[in-house]
């Protein structure tokens, strides 16, 4: 295609981002819906929890293993093409499942294979999209763009289980898979009218060493040379560990107080809070000093966590869950806008891959720590006659579930310490001023892009 062809134009401005984002958001909802429906199908076929867990493992592990390579691909190649190829591979995996299901040949191992393929493709798609955004959207709109990306995640998380249940009842598994394929076509249709600016040549871009292994990990060298970004990375991972622990433990806390149906309503309240926070960020764009937004909203998360642990009350937990996820969305959006503004365009995909790897490792750590922390440490502390029953127990109560409440209070205190510590840490507090916004200048200097 010739560069003068007006059918394909450079993706530039918030309107272009919204058009691409809508396609990606629809595809995300479709993928999450089919994933949930396939999990239901798997459990119906086997009646066992272990195969269901294997599905989650096949979905998570490839992305973790491929992350270093996916970041390099996103930095070295046309990010639009990376997204198109990744979406196409995921769509082919869904198409294979649809054909097998239509022929009554679908077996559990087919699902494992499809999850591996889809997760591998997603590992390349997500860093490429995140790294493309700063070359599309002006720097002062990055907060709104981050809010919209978080909004898509929240909508998918909230609606996908209900959509899966509805569509399974009306259309069956084949219908759900067909809907997922249609959403992939929507994502492709939204990308085709645009081309992306390639990252401009910059002294911030790590040179090609000739070794893909060294080049893949150049993102870490980039962060090592910029201590404020390292501080932001480790602060974000500490916050993520707390939220992952909460995610694992909230159902345990609720099931000790109420029915599964009511638990679902409380979890939905948290999802609504996440959507509300994302919507606010999309409209507002966040504070001028984004790092203060990260640390200030984290302090509000700390209050929400502390309140959640004080009393065994379902309405209180619903309100605390709404508040927690509202402010968590604001924290994530401010942090994402910081990363997109401060990291050189030529290395963004690799840096985002490091963030993703760290987040997944933190999630694994939370899954491993959550059970022993509750069963062996906190529950015995506030059991009847436990070591803290006559001190802390006077305030929080004693008996089953109160040790878990104490853990939530402690997590709130830890989040508060992270927030205050960040404000007192000069490297982190001064990030907005110490590091320039490199992506806005790069967006203006970037060539029009390739077709």
- Residue 412: give the domain boundaries: 220-434
CA–CA separation, 92 and 99 (whole Å)? 10
Picking from 321, 332, 319, 326, the residue whose alpha carbon sits closest to that of residue 270 is 321
Same domain, 14 and 128: yes
Q: How many domains does one find in the chain?
A: 2
pTM of the entire structure?
0.82
Answer yes or no: is pLDDT of 208 > 70: no
Using left for φ > 0, alpha for ψ between -120 and 50, and beta otherwise, residue 207 falls in beta
Mean per-residue pLDDT, 66-83: 89
| Dist. CA 80–CA 131, nearest whole Å | 11
Residue 9: what pLDDT? Answer: 79
Report d(CA 295, CA 419) in Å as an integer.
5
| Residue 63 belongs to domain with CATH number | 1.20.1250.20
Tell whether 132 and 236 lie within a shared domain.
no
Q: In sequence order, what are the residues at sequence separation of 6 or more whose Cβ sits closer than 8 angstroms to the Cβ of residue 271?
A: 154, 157, 158, 325
- Nearest Cα to Cα of residue 345 among 36, 79, 70: 79
Q: What is the pLDDT of residue 450?
A: 43
Residue 416 placed within a domain: yes
Residue scoring higher pLDDT (12 or 112):
112
pLDDT of residue 429: 94
Averaged over 292-309, what is the pLDDT? 97
Do 260 and 181 lie in one domain? The reply is no
Same domain, 17 and 74: yes
Together in a domain, 189 and 225: no
In a domain, 153, yes or no: yes
Dihedral sign computed on CA atoms, order 181, 185, 188, 190: negative
pLDDT at 11: 78
Q: Is residue 444 part of a domain?
A: no
pLDDT the model gives residue 37: 87
Q: Are residues 291 and 183 in the same domain?
A: no
Residue 423: which pLDDT band, with cuts at 50, 70 and 90? very high
Tokens 């993703």 identify what position?
A: 356
Whether 446 maps to a domain, the answer reads: no
Whether the per-residue pLDDT at 446 is higher than 60: the answer is no
Kindly state the tokens that stand for 104.
């009554």
Instruction: List helix spans (H) across 192-259.
Output: 212-216, 218-224, 227-255
Secondary structure (H, E, C), 382-395: CCCCCCCCCCHHHH
Q: Which of 175-184, 296-305, 440-449 has the lowest mean pLDDT?
A: 440-449
Segment among 206-220, 278-292, 374-388, 416-430 with least mean pLDDT: 206-220
Which pLDDT belongs to residue 214?
74
pLDDT computed for residue 265 by the predictor: 80
Residue 329 clears pLDDT 90, i.e. is over it: yes
Measured between alpha carbons, how far is 304 from 173 in angstroms, rounded to an integer?
39
Length of the chain, please? 451
Mean pLDDT of 398-426: 95
Residue 448 has pLDDT above 70, yes or no: no
Element containing residue 439 per DSSP (H, E): helix 438-445
Name the nearest CA neighbour of 101 among 91, 92, 111: 111
Residues 75 and 139 in one domain: yes
Residue 375 lies in a domain: yes
Assign 1 a pLDDT band (cuts: 50, 70, 90).
very low
Q: Are both 140 and 242 inside the same structural domain?
A: no
- 3-state SS, residue 113: helix
**DSSP-derived secondary structure letter, 198:** P
Domain boundary among 170, 192, 216: 216
Of the three residues 164, 186, 216, the one that is the final residue of a domain is 216
The model's confidence at residue 345, banded by pLDDT at 50, 70 and 90, is confident
pLDDT-based confidence at residue 226 (cuts at 50, 70, 90): very high
Assign 194 to helix, strand or coil: strand
> 56-91: b or e for each residue (b if 16 or more CB lie within 10 Å)?
eebbeebbbebbbbbbbbbbbebbbebbbbbbebbb
Chain centroid to CA 305: 20
Report the half-sphere exposure of 98 (CA within 13 A, side-chain side): 17
Q: What is the reported pLDDT for 308?
A: 95
Tell me, yes or no, whether 266 and 184 share the same domain.
Answer: no
Residue from 110, 86, 109 nearest 98 by CA? 110
Q: Return the pLDDT at 210.
A: 62
Does residue 264 lie in a domain region? yes
Selected residue with higher pLDDT from 307 and 42: 307
Could you say which of 168, 187, 216 is where a domain stops? 216
Residue-level pLDDT at 63? 77
User: Does any domain span residue 1?
Assistant: no
Claim to verify: residue 178 and residue 69 sit in the same structural domain? yes
Neighbours of 239 (CB within 10 A): 25
Rg (CA), the chain: 23
The pLDDT tens digits for 76-105 are 889 999 999 999 999 999 999 999 999 999
C-alpha distances out from residue 166 to 68, 163, 172, 180, Å: 38, 5, 9, 14
Residues 6+ apart with CB under 8 A from 61: 116, 119
pLDDT of residue 52: 67
Q: For residue 442, is it within any domain?
A: no
What mean pLDDT is reported for the chain? 88
pLDDT band, residue 183 (cuts 50/70/90): very high
**Is the confidence at residue 209, as pLDDT, over 90?**
no
DSSP 8-state code for residue 103: T
Instruction: Please list the residues that pair with 194 across neighbouring strands.
Output: 9
Q: Can you give the CATH number for the domain in which 267 is found?
A: 1.20.1250
Same domain, 145 and 188: yes
| Contacts with 231 (C-beta within 8 Å, 6 or more apart), sequence order | 422, 425, 427, 428, 431
User: Do 179 and 233 fall within a single domain?
Assistant: no
Q: Name 394's Cβ contacts closer than 8 Å, sequence gap at least 6.
A: none
- 44 has pLDDT over 60: yes
Average pLDDT over residues 319-338: 96
Averaged pLDDT for residues 58-71: 82
What φ, ψ does residue 10 adopt, rounded to 5°?
A: -65, 130
Distance CA 79, CA 87 (A): 12
Taking the mean position of all CA atoms in its chain, how far away is CA 144? Answer: 16
What would the mean pLDDT of 389-411 be, rounded to a whole number? 93
Rounded mean pLDDT of 408-434? 95
Least confident of 49-63, 189-203, 257-271, 331-345: 49-63
Kindly state the tokens that stand for 384.
């009847």
Q: What pLDDT, on a 0 to 100 scale, did the predictor assign at position 8?
A: 63
pLDDT for res 395: 92
pLDDT at 252: 82
């Amino acid at each position: 295609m010739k560069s003068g062809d007006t059918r394909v134009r450079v993706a530039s401005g918030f309107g272009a981002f919204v058009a691409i984002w809508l396609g990606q958001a629809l595809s995300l909802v479709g993928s999450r819906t089919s994933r949930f429906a396939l999990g239901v199908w798997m459990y119906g076929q086997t009646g066992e929890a272990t195969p269901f867990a294997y599905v989650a493992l096949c979905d998570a592990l490839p992305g973790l293993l491929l992350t270093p390579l996916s970041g390099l691909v996103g930095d070295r190649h046309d990010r639009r093409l990376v997204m198109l190829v990744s979406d196409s591979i995921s769509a082919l995996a869904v198409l294979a499942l649809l054909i097998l299901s239509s022929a009554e040949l679908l077996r559990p191992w087919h699902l494992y294979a499809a999850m591996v393929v889809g997760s591998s493709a997603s590992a390349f798609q997500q860093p490429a999209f995140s790294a493309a955004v700063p070359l599309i959207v002006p720097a002062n709109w990055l907060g709104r763009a981050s809010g919209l990306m978080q909004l898509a995640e929240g909508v998918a998380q909230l609606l996908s289980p209900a959509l899966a249940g509805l569509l399974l009842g009306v259309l069956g598994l084949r219908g759900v898979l067909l809907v997922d394929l249609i959403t992939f076509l929507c994502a492709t249709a939204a990308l085709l009218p645009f081309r992306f600016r390639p990252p401009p040549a910059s002294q911030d871009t790590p040179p090609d060493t000739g070794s893909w292994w060294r080049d893949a990990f150049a993102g870490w060298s980039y962060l090592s040379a910029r201590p404020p970004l390292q501080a932001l990375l480790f602060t974000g991972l500490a916050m993520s560990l707390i939220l992952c622990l909460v995610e694992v433990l909230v159902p345990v806390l609720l099931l000790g107080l109420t029915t599964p149906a009511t638990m679902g309503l409380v979890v939905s309240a948290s999802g609504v809070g996440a959507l509300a926070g994302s919507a606010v960020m999309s409209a507002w764009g966040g504070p001028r000093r984004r790092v203060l937004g990260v640390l200030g909203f984290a302090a509000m998360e700390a209050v929400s966590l502390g309140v959640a642990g004080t009393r065994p009350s379902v309405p209180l937990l619903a309100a605390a869950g709404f508040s927690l996820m509202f402010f968590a969305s604001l924290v994530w959006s401010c942090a994402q806008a910081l990363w997109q503004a401060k990291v050189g365009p030529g290395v963004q995909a690799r840096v985002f891959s490091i963030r993703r790897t760290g987040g997944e490792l933190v999630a694994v750590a939370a899954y491993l720590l959550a059970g022993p922390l509750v069963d062996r440490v906190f529950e015995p502390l506030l059991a009847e006659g436990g070591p803290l029953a006559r001190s802390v127990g006077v305030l929080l109560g004693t008996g089953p579930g109160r040790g878990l409440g104490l853990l939530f209070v402690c997590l709130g205190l830890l989040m508060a310490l992270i927030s205050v510590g960040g404000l007192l840490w000069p490297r982190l507090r001064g990030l907005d001023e110490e590091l320039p916004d490199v992506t806005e200048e790069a967006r203006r200097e970037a060539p029009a892009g390739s077709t």
